[in-house]
Amino acid sequence: MYDKNSRQATIRELVKAGMVHSQEELQALLNERGFAATQATLSRDMKAMGIVKMHDAEFGYSYRLPYETESGKSPIPKSLSSEGILSIEFSTSLAVIRTRPGYANMVGAIIDASHPDPVMGTIAGDDTVLLVLREAYPRIEVISSLSAVLPGIEFMVKQ
């Protein structure tokens, strides 16, 4: 029986090697290496490690680690090109960011990691990020805050 740190190190190794395209595949690869982990455990591990599902031209989708640093740690990147962002639209204290397929998880993770004051939190799917906004902030401040981590998003506002 291996511990959590060993399991997560193995997950990191498998994801970094580009071997993981589904949680079922990850579970099977871990079983081959002597780890017995439930799908719920894998989901928690992947969330804690910042692993996101991204579009992959060859396989459809695959799991990826956030950008690596020289120290080997995997922090969420501090910013992302707006190339994958299609639009942002507001409705009272909510905003919806539309992305290209596979980009939404990373966009949501970047926003959450940067803790912009106007944003209480995000929920991300494959190509959509829902932002829950604090009521005290006008849209212009939300956009200004987001543009610090998502350069160019100010040009994506849908009227």
Whether residues 59 and 92 fall in one domain = no
Whether residues 86 and 50 fall in one domain = no
In a domain, 131, yes or no: yes
The residue type at 73:
K
Whether residues 103 and 150 fall in one domain = yes
Q: Which pLDDT does position 146 carry in this prediction?
A: 92
Half-sphere exposure of 21 (CA within 13 A, CB side): 8
Element (H, E) at 28: helix 23-32
Whether residues 101 and 141 fall in one domain = yes
Q: Which pLDDT does position 81 carry in this prediction?
A: 61
Q: Residue 113 above 70 pLDDT?
A: yes
Instruction: State the DSSP code for 15.
Output: H
Of 17, 38, 64, which residue is a domain's last? Answer: 64
Number of domains present in the structure of the chain = 2
In a domain, 16, yes or no: yes
The residue type at 157:
V
Provide the CATH number for the domain around residue 126. 3.30.1360.40
Provide the CATH number for the domain around residue 17. 1.10.10.10
In a domain, 53, yes or no: yes
pTM (2 d.p.): 0.57
In a domain, 69, yes or no: no
Q: Residue 19 above 90 pLDDT?
A: no
**Model pLDDT for residues 26-74, shown as the tens digit of each residue:** 999 999 999 988 988 988 888 778 787 776 666 677 788 765 433 444 4
Whether residues 105 and 54 fall in one domain = no
Q: Could you tell me which of 52, 22, 54 has the C-alpha nearest to residue 39?
A: 22
Q: Residue 11 above 60 pLDDT?
A: yes
Lowest-pLDDT range of 21-30, 76-85, 99-108: 76-85
84 versus 2: the higher-pLDDT residue is 84
Whether residues 8 and 57 fall in one domain = yes
Domain hosting 14: range is 4-64
Helices and strands in the chain, H and E counts:
5, 6
Whether residues 86 and 147 fall in one domain = yes
In a domain, 142, yes or no: yes
Q: Which pLDDT does position 82 carry in this prediction?
A: 64
In a domain, 71, yes or no: no
Whether residues 145 and 88 fall in one domain = yes
In a domain, 72, yes or no: no
Place of tokens 């949680």: 23
Q: Residue 107 above 80 pLDDT?
A: yes
